[in-house]
């Protein structure tokens, strides 16, 4: 009887400890969101109060962030609970870096905590895109696998009875330095990787024959 009582008390204590441990939350700080975004004078960042889209209702309450640089211009939506703070450099030289700090109204709220790091990462990708750009390299491995630019389209010959012609999305540059290598570049990381995946799906790498279309340093 005593052993059964002690067992029940032990189980209750463990459950209380687990419950208190799972619900206790310390200082909710985003490791990525708290990092400052540094950029030089060649980049211009504007936080506009206008809605990101006047047509799509999902963006009616979101403001617009415009990032302009040597390679082009990017825009992205900013959630209403996200705050942006610009810290100007002390020096007046062109190499002096301005810092952009991203914060949220309530970091204890799950959605705001999730969007904190996501927003910071997207803004940083915009800055890198308009200054350095992004690229993806496709390698064609297989007998007769090759690519070419024909009539403004990317033509793939992958052993089918007919070539596969893909429209090149606006804003991307596609070159074919060799018949078995395709280089995709642009200022939008998502569009670059998306088009690379679209090309890759026509001949995914095989784990046994080691043939197919490989993206960057992809191995099977």
* Each residue's pLDDT tens digit, 34-50: 899 999 999 999 999 99
Q: What gap in Å lies between CA 78 and CA 2, rounded to an integer? A: 61
Average pLDDT over residues 3-21: 49
Order of strands, sheet of 153-157, starting from the edge strand that comes earlier in the sequence:
146-150, 153-157, 164-167
Q: Per-residue pLDDT tens for 82-124?
A: 999 999 887 666 667 899 999 999 989 999 999 999 999 999 9
pTM: 0.80
Token pair in block for residue 183: 């280089």
Q: Per-residue pLDDT tens for 144-155?
A: 999 999 999 999
> Rounded to the nearest 10 degrees, what angle do helices 110-131 and 189-200 cross at?
90
Predicted local confidence at residue 89, as pLDDT = 82
């Amino acid at each position: 009887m005593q052993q059964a009582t002690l067992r029940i008390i032990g189980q209750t204590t463990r459950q209380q400890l687990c419950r208190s441990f799972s619900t206790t939350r310390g200082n909710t700080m985003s490791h990525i969101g708290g990092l400052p975004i540094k950029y030089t004078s060649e980049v211009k960042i504007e936080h506009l109060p206008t809605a990101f889209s006047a047509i799509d209702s999902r963006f009616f309450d979101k403001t617009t962030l415009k990032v302009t640089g040597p390679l082009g211009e990017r825009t992205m939506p900013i959630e209403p609970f996200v705050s942006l703070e610009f810290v100007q450099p002390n020096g007046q030289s062109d190499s002096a870096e301005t810092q952009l700090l991203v914060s949220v109204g309530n970091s204890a709220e799950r959605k705001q905590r999730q969007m904190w790091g996501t927003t910071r990462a997207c803004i940083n990708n915009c800055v890198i895109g308009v200054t350095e750009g992004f690229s993806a390299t496709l390698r064609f491995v297989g007998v007769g696998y090759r690519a070419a630019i024909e009539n403004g389209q990317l033509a793939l010959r992958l052993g089918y009875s007919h070539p596969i012609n893909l429209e090149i999305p606006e804003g991307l540059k596609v070159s074919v330095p060799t018949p078995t290598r395709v280089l995709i570049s642009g200022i939008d990381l998502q569009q670059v990787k998306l088009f690379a995946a679209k090309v890759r799906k026509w001949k995914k790498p095989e784990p046994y024959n080691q043939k197919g279309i490989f993206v960057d340093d992809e191995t099977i």
